[in-house]
Amino acid sequence: MLKMSNISKVYRTELVETHALRELDLHVEEGEFVAVTGPSGSGKTTFLNIAGLLESPSNGRYELDGEDVSQINDRARSRIRNQKVGFIFQGFNLIPDLNLADNVDVPLRYRGWSATERRRAVGDMLDLVGLGSRQNYLPSQLSGGQQQRVAIARALAGKPRFLLADEPTGNLDSEMADVVMKLLEKVNSEGTTIVMVTHDPDLARRARRNIHVLDGRATDIMDAVSPNVMPLPGRGAARV
């Protein structure tokens, strides 16, 4: 599903050169739930941005779903982001002046679906996260946990095969965090590949596989079988 080979990312200014990622190799199989851990500044977010095609690597090869996406143009990156990738952010990133339905509708607008298809998908996704009756609410009328569930509904609305979650429970209390994690686990059990960046070792343990990023390199791998997810046949074929 995701294959990074020898990926480097260097940020240059007139005065300083920062190596955010150094020759990173990574392979995530389809259907995996991978937790990426590491200290602040280790390169987790840069990895996530490159994985989500929000940034291009300085060097190396990145294949997503069998397609080399290392150096494709903006239009093609946008199309792949829209069709194959879903994002969940720590800060939810809902658009405050759009109601829940319109927020979930955002990626579908760029997909070119008909109004009927979009309406059905939005309704299904909000039902999935238990907020189907609140389609016309504004984000400010919801709790943090509910907002993150809307964000998950938005990420899933276009049926992406690959979900990137950046500290998805970072702004939630433990109870809400558990609800969100259960939702992610359910989504993963239905076949969606998830890569989740987290600081929380408890959450990382719930993923099926852990990758530790340090100084721009994926330095540690730890298999961890999630209690409610069965291992996929042949998983772990590619490794750091």
CA–CA separation, 184 and 152 (whole Å): 8
Q: Which is nearer to other proteins, 213 or 226 (CB)?
A: 213
Residues 6+ apart with CB under 8 A from 195: 2, 28, 34, 36, 48, 51, 162, 163, 164, 165
Euclidean distance between CA atoms 40 and 103, whole angstroms: 30
Q: What does the alpha-carbon distance between residue 82 and residue 204 come to, in Å, rounded to a whole number?
A: 27
- Pairing of β 217-223 and β 33-37: unpaired
What is the 3 state secondary structure string of 121-159?
HHHHHHHHCCCHHHCCCCHHHCCHHHHHHHHHHHHHHCC
C-beta closer to other proteins: residue 157 or 177: 157
Our CB check for other proteins shows the closer of 81 and 209 to be 81
Work out how close the CB of 74 gets to other proteins at its nearest, in angstroms, rounded to a whole number.
5
Which C-beta is closer to other proteins: that of 2 or that of 208?
A: 2
Provide, rounded to whole angstroms, the least separation between the CB of residue 73 and other proteins: 9
Structural element, H or E, at residue 37: strand 33-37
User: Measured from the CB atom, is 83 or 189 closer to other proteins?
Assistant: 83
- For residue 119, the minimal CB distance to other proteins (Å) is 14
How are strands ordered across the β-sheet holding 67-68?
Answer: 17-28, 2-12, 59-64, 67-68
d(CA 227, CA 221): 18
Closest separation in Å from C-beta 57 to other proteins: 12
Question: Rounded CA gap, 109 and 152, in Å?
Answer: 17
Provide φ and ψ at 184, rounded to 5°.
-65, -40
Choose between 5 and 93: whose C-beta lies nearer to other proteins: 93
Q: How far is the CB of 101 from other proteins (least distance, A)?
A: 13
- Which one, 54 or 128, has the nearer CB to other proteins? 54
Which residues in this chain contact other proteins in the complex, by CB under 8 A? 45, 49, 52, 54-55, 74-75, 78-79, 81-83, 87, 89-91, 93, 95, 97-98, 106-107, 109-111, 154, 158, 166
How many helices and strands in the chain, by DSSP H and E?
7, 10
The distance of closest approach from Cβ of residue 231 to other proteins in the complex, given in angstroms and rounded to an integer, is: 31
Q: How far is the CB of 103 from other proteins (least distance, A)?
A: 10
